Every structure is written in C-alpha cells, then in structure tokens.
Amino acid sequence: MSLYLAAAKGSDSDDFNDQLIDFSLYQIYPRSFKDSDGDGVGDLKGIMSKLDHLIESNVDAFWLSPMYPSPMVDFGYDIQNFTDVDPIYGTMQDFDSLLEAAHEKSLKLFLDLVPNHSSDKHEWFYKSLQNIKPYNDYYVWHKGRVLKNGTIVAPNNWVSVFGGPAWTWRDERQAYYFHQFTKEQPDLNYNNQKLVREMKEVIRFWLRKGVDGFRVDAVNHLCEDTRYLDEPLTGDTNDPNNYGYTEKIYSKDQLQTYKIVLGWRQVMEEFEQPRFMMMEAYTNVSMTMRYYAYGAHYPFNFGLITDMQKNSTAADFKNMVDSWMSNMPAGSIPNWVAGNHDKPRLATRFGPKRARAVTLISLLLPGVSVTYNGEEIGMEDTWISWEDTVDPSGCNAGKDGYESASRDPARTPFQWDDSTSAGFSTNPKTWLRVNDNYRTVNLAAEKEDSQSYYNFYKKVSSLKKSNNFKGGKLVTKLLNKNVFAFARDSRSTGYYVVINFGDKDEIVDLSVFDNISRQSLLYYDIGAVLPSR
C-alpha cells in the first residue's frame, strides 16, 4: 500500500473562521498518559508535564476521560461526585493548574460528561435507596413483575451492555433499579425534572471554571420507554445475558434524549466564550445526525472504527466518507474518529501500514480529527492475562471470553521512551502492564527516525493546520478498485490526496478532478514526502 499527496493551484473558497472547523482533537486517558508521583497510575500533573507533546503534535484541543471521584469499578465511568477530582489523579487545584497551562498554550480542554448514570456510592443513590425525597426518584426504580405463583421478577428482558440483566433488586426499596452498564452504575432518571436541573448545574460548575466543553458519554442510553416492555429478540444468540440477545428499541435511542441534549446546549449558550459539545452514540446514521439539530456541535463519527476493517477496499472507504457527508445537515461540521479507549487500537485493527492510511484520511478530510493517545506513535494492543484483567466488560465475559470482550489491551500506559515502564512511571509495576514492544515503539525513538509513525503523523497533522486545509470543498473519487482519492479546494491551493490500498503501484488518471495542475505533484510514501520531479 502506498500513499500519495498531490498539490495544485485551485479556486478561491470561503474563509472559515469558526473555531470548530478543521481542528485536531486528542483524547487523553488519564490513568495511562503520564504518572508524576510513581504510584503506577497517570495523573493530572503528569498530563500537565506533557502538554508540549500535544503542541508538537499539532493538537488544538484535548479531552480527558473521567477524572472524577470514583470507586473505579468502570475506571472512572462510575462517578461518586460529578464536581470534584479523584485523589488518585490529584486535586482540584491540580486541575485548575492544568486548565490554566492548557489555555496559556492555546489548547482547548474538554471534559468527559457522563450523564447517563452515577456510581452506586454516590450520595444521590444512597438517599434514593432510603426513599428520601427528592432523591427517591433520581434513579429508575421498578417494583418488578409478579408471577402467578407470587414470585417477583425483573420488569422485562432488558440486558446490560456488559452482559447480564439490566435490573438489580434492592431489599431496602423492595424494588429493582435499572443499570445500562454494571450494577454499580445505576441509571439516572431524566423523567425527573429536578435531576435534569442537577445535571445542568454540573455542567455550569465546570463551565464556570473555564473548561471549553464536553464529550458526552453514552448519550443514546439516557432515556428509556417508561412502559418497560420486553424488547424483541434478535435471533443472534440464545443467551439472555448477552447484550446482543434483544433489539434495543425501548432501552436506547429514545426521542426524549434529544430534548435533554438541547437543554444542555442552552446552558452552554449562557456563557460568553464559545463552548462545545460532542456526543458519543453508537447508533444508526439517522439517529446520529439528529444530534446536530438538537444542539450538539457534532456527534462522533465512528465509521472508521465500526465500518472499516483490515480488508476494507478503496470503495468501502469512499462509501463511508460519502455516507457521512451526504447525511450530515448542511452547514454542519464533520468529524472522523480514528480510535478510542473502548476499541482495539488503530494499528491493531488495521496493521501498521494501513493504519497510516486511516490516519491520513482522518486528519486531512474536512472537519475535526480525533486521535486517541498513543496512536500518534502507532501503539498496539497489549496482551493482558485473565489474572490481570480489570475491565468489567472483560471480567464479566469470563476466562474463556475475556480476550474478545476486554478493553484493557487498548488502555495500557503511553510509551514515552525505553526507560522503566516506558517513561510512563518510575514504578516498574503500573496499573496495566506496559507493552513488550516499548523499547522500539516509543515517542523518543520515533522522534529520531524520519520514517517513524510519529513523524508521519506529525507531517500530516502539520498539513491539517495549514491554511490549505482550512475549509474548502470536498470531492471524493474512486480511481480504480484499489485507489481512493479526495480533493480539498481552499482559497489558495487545491490538495488532492490519493491513497492506494493495493499491494502494487497503480497508474491512475487524476484528470477526473477539475483544474488539476501537475506542476506541484508530491509523492507520499509511508511517512516521507518527496517531490516527484
């Protein structure tokens, strides 16, 4: 597979000043980014010490996976207090210092907002369990169904994302509570207007501190059909504890969700400086696009993760791009997510060479590119033994199924150099083990290698920041069965990106693009940009 980049003089295009247009977003998983105190877990001071890496990598903004107080059943996504910092990551003062340092470097900082549920250790849940008003209705409670023999069972057949029933009985309330994820993550009740106002206050708390916005977690799980009917069976599995057992027509993607999202956008509009909101929702195209109309600056586009594989063809990539662009409402901002902490790493999914092609596509298409920490250096998944597995998704799958279910392999520490624990920590024992390849796959080594994954990433991300890739019209072409190409026309220059997914060189006709000039043709070959003549 080879990559080509051609540049040619083109026509003028509109001048885009919107801060969201064509910027680079970077996800930091705090536990695994940088440990400053030697306890084997990443922290806020560690992140602050590495902000220059983001600048050098041409990042415009970063978002932090949860750093709130948590029992860590789901490593921060089970939140005990929505408006504080977990001591394992530092203090609120550390967060304030990080935010100030980021803004001094002109970096935007987004937080992970997790509105669907809390920890069962949250004060709200304790009070709800005791039926104390107004908290008694902050969560989704149901007395269950009574069988003919008098036995009380769960209200319906809904299944948790992590497997098993989505309902857990509590004697204290003589009722079941609903949880889309682990039983330690009870779902909040957005039919309760006091709860709705509480979450708006959480948003205001962080916006007053100066954060630039939020990535909203699992937003399409927010609301449920309150008839609590059984969901139809998919026929894909006979296991009622498997998440794929039912079609999720009542437990997710409910229309009420969009009204809640619109209310959050209205909160953001209370603040003078622009604040941004992006949605995480694994759902179909029509439901995804609806978030644009209800206040989201953009819903994450997971096409590169969910629709593309190692064997995807040039036509597959073109169709994925065209589908998003054609379904997106006019005037909206596209985005391209290359990887995240919930899925196998980019280089593992595609292999190192094809991963570079995906990196190029995500960075040079119009809109926002999203890079998961470590993927700029080509980090790969790390094998984790059953005994060392900590992710609840993997643990719930059991010893025989954990390897395909666990998210731990994509969450191992960032590989900074070839010292102890890859420079992530001075502690040789880290919360997840470091990948064995860290002596060769690390940032320090790759900076010295002109052909490295990092230098490839840096060159392409630098192009993204150039004026030539700000705005402009996008045209995509399938030049033959192996070659996908797209054109970016900016005010001064038209760029033509040509990607060969085949194993052999291809001769293609670039005249299918209008106004192309061959006078400034460049050859792009796995990390090196060279003049063709």
Catalytic residues: 217, 280
Enclosing H/E stretch for 476: strand 473-480
Task: Return the closest-CA partner of residue 108 out of 273, 352, 317, 330.
Answer: 273
Distance (Å, rounded) from C-alpha 33 to C-alpha 50?
9
Cis peptide before 274 (omega within 30 of 0): no
Residue 409: is it exposed, middle or buried by C-beta count within 10 angstroms (0-12/13-18/19+)? buried
Angle at which helices 352-364 and 453-465 cross, to 10° = 10
Residue 472 gets the label, from left (phi > 0), alpha (psi -120 to 50) or beta, of: left
Beta strands in 50-182 (DSSP E): 61-64, 108-113, 141-142, 145-146, 152-153, 167-170, 175-178
Q: Which is it for the CA torsion 203, 208, 209, 212, positive or negative?
A: positive
Beta strands in 123-275 (DSSP E): 141-142, 145-146, 152-153, 167-170, 175-178, 213-216
Single-letter code of the amino acid located at 187: D
Tokens, residue 421: 């624990």
Rg (C-alpha) for the chain, rounded Å, is 24
Enclosing H/E stretch for 7: strand 2-9
Q: What is the DSSP letter of 452?
A: S
Distance (Å, rounded) from C-alpha 209 to C-alpha 228?
39
**Angle at the Cα of 12 from the Cα atoms of 10 and 15, rounded to 5 degrees:** 130
Angle at which helices 193-209 and 92-104 cross, to 10° = 60
Residue 3 forms beta bridges with which residues? 499
Count of Cβ atoms closer than 10 Å to residue 295 Cβ = 20
Residue 225: is it exposed, middle or buried by C-beta count within 10 angstroms (0-12/13-18/19+)? middle
Query: What is the bridge-based pairing of β-strands 493-500 and 2-9?
Result: antiparallel
Q: How far is CA 17 from CA 13, 370, 380, 470, 489, in A?
A: 12, 20, 36, 9, 16
Residues 20/368, Cβ–Cβ less than 8 Å: yes
Tokens, residue 503: 């194993």
